[in-house]
Amino acid sequence: MEPIIFGENLSFSYKEKEILKDLNFAFKKGERVGIVGESGSGKSTFLRLLAGLLSPTEGVVSVAGETKAEGIIKKISMVMQEAMLMPLTIKENITLGKDVPKERINEVIKAAKLDGWIDSLEEGIDTYLGDRANEISGGQAQRIAIARAMLKDADIILLDEPTSSLDKETTTEVLEALDRLMEGKTVVHVTHHPDLLKGYDRIITVKEGRFYE
């Protein structure tokens, strides 16, 4: 089967500093790939290349048949370490201005396990997160980010340490929501915790700009 994600002689540099060197890789559809490695080894950089947020300095990256950044970015969904909440309502934070039917929003809210909390709010989903964005818990914030990612319903899910800023208990809740997000998708998950990668198909270690499996 044709791989859904692959790289050929892929290199990436910030200015003169070469971060990723001549990588060749291929991920199959539905595969779960874990990426580990020391801080600064280039894990996030790699994920940004897969997301179409960066373009390779040399070589090719292909994601769901797209090789241009503008094309790639449409095919993926992403959850990062920071939830990236904005001073908008909960609903706007999830939809980011897109016209989405109410049922669909309720669906992702349930799947992201946000329904209990949102029901307890006086203004529900229309609660403004302006100054309160730093009052809501890290777990809640991250689950909003997950709901946002679910709504995009891309075939490829990219995760960049989505639980690393959370404590143990919240991590469990967020992981449950993440499981729902990853159902039936191709997943690339960057993390410092190999125990989060149990049951993954492949685990790649990034070291000095190269991949080791």
Partner 1 sequence: MKVLKRLTAANMIWVITAYVCLFLSIIIQFFWTIRIGMIADAIVSREKIEIKFMFIMFAILLASCLFIYLKSLAGKYATERMAHTLRMDFAGKLLKSEREAIGGYEAMSKAQNELTASSEGLSGIFDVIEQFLSGILALIFLLFANLRFTLIVLGPLIAVVLLINRIGKNLPGLVNAAMDKRISNNKTAYMIISNFEAVKVFGAEEFFEEKFKKELEEWGRLETKKERISAVTNSVSGILSQLPLLILFGVGALLIWRGYMTIGTLMIFLNMTGSFIRTITNLPSWVVRIKQFLVHLSRTDIASEIQH
Ligand X SMILES: Nc1ncnc2c1ncn2[C@@H]1O[C@H](COP(=O)(O)OP(=O)(O)OP(=O)(O)O)[C@@H](O)[C@H]1O
Provide the binding-site residues for ligand X, judged by CB under 6 A.
14, 19, 37, 39-45
Are 36 and 206 in contact by the 8 Å Cβ rule? The answer is yes
Among 23, 35, 50, 76, which residue sits at the site for partner 1 (rule: CB under 8 A)? 76
- Asked if 64 touches partner 1 (CB under 8 A), the answer is no
CB contact set of 34 (below 8 Å; sequence gap of 6+): 189, 191, 194, 196, 197, 200, 202, 203, 204
Instruction: Provide, rounded to whole angstroms, the least separation between the CB of residue 185 and partner 1.
Output: 15
What does the buried/exposed string (b/e) look like for 92-121 if buried means 16 or more CB atoms within 10 Å of the residue's CB?
Answer: bbbbeeeeeeeeebeebbebbbbeebbeee
Residue nearest to Mg ion (CB): 44
Cα pseudo-dihedral 41, 47, 49, 51, rounded to 10? -170
Are 29 and 1 in contact by the 8 Å Cβ rule? The answer is yes
Return the SS3 of 72.
Answer: helix
- Asked if 99 touches partner 1 (CB under 8 A), the answer is no
172-211 residues near partner 1, rule: CB under 8 A: none
- For partner 1, which stretch binds (CB under 8 A), given 55-63, 78-86, 180-188, 195-203? 78-86
- Asked if 98 touches partner 1 (CB under 8 A), the answer is yes
Among 96, 106, 192, 193, which residue sits at the site for partner 1 (rule: CB under 8 A)? 96
Between 37 and 162, name the residue whose CB sits nearer to ligand X: 37
Between 44 and 170, name the residue whose CB sits nearer to ligand X: 44
Residues that bind Mg ion (CB under 5 A): 44
